[in-house]
Structure formats: structure tokens, C-alpha cells
Amino acid sequence: MDANIKRLTEQEILAILRAADELIGQGGRTLLAKILKGSREKKVVALQLDRCPVYGYFQSETLAVITEKIDWMISHDFLDIEYFGKLPMIVFTDRGWEIEADQRADEFLSEWNEWLAKDQPIPDMSYLKDRNRKMIFLFLEKVRETGDTKYIPYLEEWKKVDYKKVKAEISTTIHALTSGKGMDELSAHTRKRAIEEALLGEGPQDFLIKCWECGKRFTFTIGEQQFYKQRGLSQPKRCEECRLKRKFGEIF
């Protein structure tokens, strides 16, 4: 449980989300903790998870402490657990993905800037194909906001290899840059505020549930919420007294 973990910093939240992006739907809390620890375990290396930009971010921490940080992310609605068969897998919440999509879009733009600064040949742009559509459109929005025509050769090459809807968005971006209508400071400011608010997030809270049997309301505590989530259980529908009666009969 994460009860003794103080609020994570913005950079810690971003690092955990970035590491989680490498294994969404493919690994659980333990594997995520090993990426952040910088483990050289065979599975980590075999899956090339050691190439993650935040690999080893918490290398000075124990796996137990890193796992507690991950649990904090889960209880604060940045990450979640979904079961695939009997296997618990890490997935993004809507809020977690909103933050990570923005972070990845910035990462792609920084990568383009680095290649352009080094005057490198344009890479095979199919590396952007089959990415999350929302994140790709956000990336193109950020390209438009720069108002810089230096990205047009990359965009033209990318347009040759992607799907129809993405091609249309790329064409819109090229037109915006060539016409000088790419920059939208208001949109960028609004998005920045939204990400800042998402990063703040509210802490977990106890809440009341109405019992299906007796109609009384009972408290579903933070600790119980974490217990149920980590085991892939739905929240209880009955109060503890009614659950005991159903299990053991009227003896209670």
C-alpha cells in the first residue's frame, strides 16, 4: 500500500508514466518497477526495456519503495490495473494518458529538432505509423504551433506512408506552416493548463456505498479500494454485516 508515500513530484509522475508506456497491457507492477530500478534481469533486456528513456530513474531506491510509488500512481488515478485472464496488467487511466500523450508528443518533436540540428537524413517515417491516433494528432498540433517551416520535409515524407486520416492532418499542418497560420498561443496555453491540472490530481478518498441488501450506506475505505483494485475485484455491493450473513447464514 502507498499510505506512507508522500506526494510524488511532477518529474516522478512523468517518469513513471513514461516507463509504463513501454509495457501497457503487457506487464504489471513488478516489471514496471524493474524498468525504473534499472534491472538487468533477462526479461527486461530481452524485451529491450532497458532502452526506455527513464530506465533506472529510481536506481537508488529498492524495488519495494518503487512499487509503493507505482501504487501511489494507481490510487491517485494516473495508472490502473486490468486483468487479462489471471494476469494483472498496468494500463493508463484517462488522466494518465492525457499527460503521457502530451509528454510523448514533446519527445517526438525534440527528436525531430535534434535530427534537424545535426542535419541527419530524413528517417523512415513509418516509425510513426500505427501509433495512438490521439497522440499523433497532438504531435501534429504541436508542430503547427511552432510555425516553423523546417519541419515540412519530414511531414511530406511522413505523408507518403501513413493512413488517410493521418495524411489529411499532415496536409493541414503543412498548409498551416506554409501560410503562416500555424501558431496558436491560446490553444497551447489552454493545453498546458489542462496538463498542469491533471498532474495535480486529487488524492484517494473514502466514499459511501449503498448496500443492496439492507439499504444502509457503508464506507469503502482507501485501503479497501486498493486491495480490491490490485486483485481485479469489483467494489462490494453489500455492507460487511450483510456479506457475513450471506456467507454464514443468520448466525450473525
pLDDT in tens, the chain (252 residues): 445 568 899 999 999 999 999 998 789 999 999 999 999 999 999 999 999 999 999 999 999 999 999 999 988 889 998 888 888 899 999 999 999 999 999 999 999 999 999 999 999 999 999 999 999 999 999 999 999 999 999 999 999 999 999 999 999 999 999 998 766 666 777 888 888 888 886 666 777 888 888 888 888 887 788 788 767 677 888 898 888 888 776 544
Residue 115, classified by CB atoms within 10 Å of its CB into exposed (0-12), middle (13-18) or buried (19+), is middle
DSSP-derived pairing of the beta strands 207-210 and 79-84: unpaired
Instruction: Please count the other Cβ atoms lying within 10 Å of the Cβ belonging to residue 155.
Output: 19
Where helices occur in 76-219 by DSSP H, the ranges are: 94-117, 133-146, 152-159, 164-178, 185-200
Instruction: Please count the other Cβ atoms lying within 10 Å of the Cβ belonging to residue 101.
Output: 21
Question: Which residue is associated with the grid cell 508528443?
Answer: 105
How large is the C-alpha radius of gyration of the chain?
Answer: 23
The three three-digit cell numbers of residue 9, written as one number: 513530484
92 touches 80 (CB < 8 A)? yes
What are the beta bridge partners of residue 214? Answer: none
